[in-house]
Amino acid sequence: MGFREMSPEKRAAVIAAGVKVSLEKRASVSPASRFWMRVDKNGPTPAHCPELGPCWVWTGGTRSGYGNFWLGGRGIGAHVFAWVAVGGSVPVGHWVLHRCDNRRCVRRDHLFIGTPRENVADMIRKGRNARGDRHGSRTKPERLARGDRNGSRTKPERLLRGDVHPARLRPERLARGERSGQAKLTVDKVFDIRRRIDDGETNAAIARAYGLHKNTIRRIRLGETWRML
């Protein structure tokens, strides 16, 4: 089982067991010193939030781009170790996420706890998904299959329609929410509105506060809009 899928109790147990094994095997080097030996504190400063200061970069092995730290015979995320090692906890259904978007970074104040859902929100907010000028159709336009080279002509049987259409299979990829051309709201506002809904405020009261129509709030409440958050 991957470390990420484990319950917090299991993670804590694995880390505790790893600490014990490591201590027994090599009494002189604690996991923490093994860990920090492989961290370069003069990493790059994130361009989208320079106020964070330089990343502390894991120089050991990686897995899926994330630093990988061996502990008690298992690889765990270096950023997760960094978080837990300083007493941070990771509640059920939450991940350790990067403010700096640098997966090898283990600097405590570059990390935060969030749900996978918040990670998606964070990604949309920061525009980390490739679109506009960073999208492949702009960076490598010569690769686009157009006219008779287009798949719809060469392999019409492969066209994805109805239930196999990506809009049904991967609805999360559609330009929804604030990426939608019609959006009046932002991810942050939607979270605020949800909080007010949970606090028992009426649609009309919330709508007034944001200068929106009460049906806009009603649709958020019913999950008809902003469903991906």
Using CB under 5 A, list all residues that contact Zn ion: 55, 100, 102, 105, 107, 110
Nearest distance in Å: CB 154, Zn ion: 45
| Element holding 66 (H helix, E strand) | strand 66-71
Q: What own/partner pairs with CB < 8 Å and gap ≥ 24 does 40-49 have?
A: 41/107, 43/102, 43/104, 43/105, 44/102, 46/99, 46/100, 46/101, 46/102, 46/110, 48/101, 48/126, 49/99, 49/100
Q: Whose Cβ is closer to Zn ion: residue 78's or residue 187's?
A: 78
Nearest distance in Å: CB 107, Zn ion: 5
Q: Whose Cβ is closer to Zn ion: residue 104's or residue 185's?
A: 104
Matching residue, tokens 């806009």: 216
Q: Whose Cβ is closer to Zn ion: residue 38's or residue 218's?
A: 38
N- to C-terminal Cα distance for the chain? 27
Nearest distance in Å: CB 58, Zn ion: 10
Nearest distance in Å: CB 45, Zn ion: 9
Q: Whose Cβ is closer to Zn ion: residue 11's or residue 110's?
A: 110
